[in-house]
Amino acid sequence: MSQPFLELSLVSMAFKTRQGPFQALSDINLRVEKGEFVSLIGHSGCGKSTLLNIVAGLYRCTAGGVLLEGREVDQPGPDRAVVFQNHSLLPWLTAYENIELAVKKTSGGKRGKAQIREWILHNLKLVQMDHAMTKRPEELSGGMKQRIGIARALAMEPKVLLMDEPFGALDALTRARLQDELLRIVADTGSTVMMVTHDVDEAVLLSDRVVMMTNGPAATIGEILEVNLARPRNRLALATDARYLSARKAVLEFLYQKQLKAA
Amino acid sequence: MTTTATLAAPPEPASARKSDTVTDLGAVAAAATTTPTVKARAAAAPAAPTARRRPAWLDTLGDCAAKILPPVVTMALLLGIWELASSQAGASLPPPSKVVADTRDLILHPFFDNGGNDVGMAWQLLASLERVLYGYSIAVVAGISLGVLVGQFALAMRGLDPVFQVLRTVPPLAWLPIALAGFRDGNPSAIFVIFITAVWPIIINTSIGIRNIPNDYRNVARVVRLNGIEYFWKIMMPAAAPYIFSGLRVGVGLSWLAIVAAEMLIGGVGIGFFIWDAWNSSRISDIVLALVYVGLVGFMLDRIVSWIGRWVARGSSVN
């Protein structure tokens, strides 16, 4: 078998707390192929964001390891750009400058001034925000901010795009629009994506595989569902598609029967 | 740290709030000429033109009056009370009318120079401002640097914070003898007193600002791999700017408080010395005039720092 693109092997994470160590994740194994869209789903507190942060390099796992193209992940970097849940745009910079901060630093001299500008505009157009390039985050709606956040991450040309509940803070209609946009962008750019979500429809609609996590403590991967739906996917057509509905049902069963958690 | 929390409150979005107040006051002034009921009806029914036809210049005038009148009235009242109280037989302080009469020459000729300490009020103030400029500038550089150190590194925090918390309670003038012993000269000692007075709020506010930088911004910096210098200029300074500038404002106010006291003791030239000299030769009116100038200059210093802060931190206090 060939070397996997992204490989998590026996990843465990223990946090130090006042009551002693807390085992958040234990023995997580996952292989992600290039161009694959994988989502992590589970009840809140199951450690799915922690796992994403480990892949991002923002946390160091306490056991096991993550390999990206055969190299160990030991620090954050632009090859694993993150779209944060609350956009994390710098409020004192315009949309353009927010992306520029990332591009200037990650282009590493391989682009000239004009090319940097062109690349930033290209990414703004990709998320259809080129009209708002001179606006500061406070002047943008939640959905627009998240678009800029996605553009900033894409502009770093990541090997893996990591998304931490990217649409969690948005209203349902905006969320649906951005999901459709993300489908288009991922198709255009061929990105490899790992996304944390707690939205079953979002996971099934967007993903090639849905990784379902058990409840913590010592959370691990419970089941992995392959979503064999052809792309491009259409939300309306899928609403009555039997394969879509059965995939959705499988995730729901996992979350609400096998992993039912006392709220 | 809890005791310093009040210093650290980031400046309110003053621009927005102030303009609200101004328009409110303007509306009040406008409403004073028409009765509120007429105004409400006029707004509801466009068929009542008499109540709404009001030239724009009248509104502007009303706005100005609403802004200028209250402080003018307050000043007039206070001066009136003072005049009355000091005009009694046997009053120990001069009334404002006498102050103006006594200090006519000082007011009209702020730039005279008869050599030695006998110079105009403007020179006295400039001498004090020069000392404040030196002492405060050193305090800004040292305060922000130490604040960043303490805010960014837990170890530095643990080591230095207790020292800061104790030293910052030492009254400014208590440092003067030590400074005089060290520098063996009045001028550097006064500058040192300014520095040591202004530096604490700057250190403490900067460190609180740094510690309050949202983790998200740090994560963005880590993913983009900003180096230390880039992180300092592109994330740390803008993110902490509202806190830093509230420290700078407190600092400049304190240094102006301290300079007057320090100059009373070291002598030479300066507004503090002028006040002490006037007291020694019983020129009470001169003291009153000096106090007015001290107040006005202190107010200006505060405005300047606040204005720079608002300009630098535009955008960064809003998230």
| Model pLDDT for residues A61-109, shown as the tens digit of each residue | 999 999 999 999 999 999 999 999 888 999 999 999 999 999 988 877 7
Nearest to A56 by CA among A202, A168, A158: A158
Q: What is the pLDDT of residue B52?
A: 61
CB contact under 8 A, A90 and B230: no
Q: What residues of B are in contact with residue A77 (Cβ under 8 Å)?
A: 223, 225
Q: Chain B interface, mutation test: which of A58, A80, A89, A92, most B Cβ atoms within 10 Å?
A: A92
CB contact under 8 A, A88 and B217: yes
Closest residue, chain A, to B216 (C-alpha): A88
Q: Chain A interface, mutation test: which of B213, B222, B223, B233, most A Cβ atoms within 10 Å?
A: B223
Q: What is the ipTM of this complex?
A: 0.89
Say if residue B23's pLDDT is above 50.
no
Say if residue B43's pLDDT is above 80.
no
Give, in degrees to the nearest 5, the angle at Cα A214 between A209 and A215: 140
**Burial class (CB within 10 angstroms; exposed 0-12, middle 13-18, buried 19+) of B235:** buried
Among A77, A91, A93, the residue with its CB nearest the CB of B223 is A77
Q: What is the pLDDT of residue A254?
A: 93
Q: What is the pLDDT of residue A259?
A: 82
Closest residue, chain B, to A105 (C-alpha): B224
Tokens representing B212? Answer: 């309050």
Q: What is the pLDDT of residue B179?
A: 94
According to the per-residue pLDDT averaged within each range, which of A45-49, B100-104, B135-139, B278-282 is highest?
A: B135-139
Contact with chain A for residue B212, Cβ under 8 A? no
| One-letter identity of residue B3 | T
* Spans of chain A, pLDDT less than 70: 1-2, 261-263
CB contact under 8 A, B316 and A80: no
Q: What is the pLDDT of residue B24?
A: 42
Cα B84 to Cα A96: distance, rounded to the nearest angstrom? 64
Q: What's the pLDDT band for B302 if we cut at 50, 70, 90?
A: very high
Residues 228-257 of B with CB under 8 A from A: 230, 234-235, 238-239
Contact with chain B for residue A82, Cβ under 8 A? yes
CB contact under 8 A, B316 and A92: yes
Among A56, A58, A78, the residue with its CB nearest the CB of B225 is A78
B110 min Cα distance to partner chain A (Å): 44
CB contact under 8 A, A136 and B216: no
Cα A20 to Cα A10: distance, rounded to the nearest angstrom? 22
CB contact under 8 A, A105 and B224: yes
Say if residue B263's pLDDT is above 80.
yes
Q: What is the pLDDT of residue A238?
A: 92
Residues 115-144 of A with CB under 8 A from B: 136-138
Q: What is the pLDDT of residue B250?
A: 95
Q: What is the pLDDT of residue B202?
A: 97
CB contact under 8 A, A92 and B220: no
Q: What number of other Cβ atoms are within 10 A of residue A44's Cβ?
A: 13
Contact with chain A for residue B268, Cβ under 8 A? no
Whose structure tokens read 């805010």? B151
CB contact under 8 A, B220 and A86: no
Q: What is the pLDDT of residue A9?
A: 94
Q: What is the pLDDT of residue B66?
A: 87
According to the per-residue pLDDT averaged within each range, which of A96-110, B85-99, B105-119, B241-255 is highest?
A: B241-255
Q: What's the pLDDT band for B31 if we cut at 50, 70, 90?
A: very low
Q: What is the pLDDT of residue A107?
A: 78
Residues 144-173 of A with CB under 8 A from B: 156
B23 min Cα distance to partner chain A (Å): 23
Instruction: Classify each residue of B31-52 as buried b or exposed e, where b means 16 or more C-beta atoms within 10 Å of its C-beta.
Output: eeeeeeeebeebeeeeeeeeee
Closest residue, chain A, to B227 (C-alpha): A105
Q: What residues of B are in contact with residue A78 (Cβ under 8 Å)?
A: 223-225
Q: What's the pLDDT band for B50 if we cut at 50, 70, 90?
A: low
Largest CA distance in chain A: 56
> Alpha carbon of A261 to those of A42, A43, A98, A216, B123: distances in Å?
10, 8, 40, 10, 77
Q: Chain B interface, mutation test: which of A58, A86, A90, most B Cβ atoms within 10 Å?
A: A90
CB contact under 8 A, B316 and A91: yes
Tokens representing A169? Answer: 């803070």
Angle formed by the axes of helices B284-312 and B237-266, nearest 10°: 170
Whose structure tokens read 């006392």? A262
Closest residue, chain A, to B213 (C-alpha): A90
CB contact under 8 A, B217 and A80: no
Cis peptide bond N-terminal to A217, omega within 30: yes
Nearest to A8 by CA among A224, A178, A164: A224
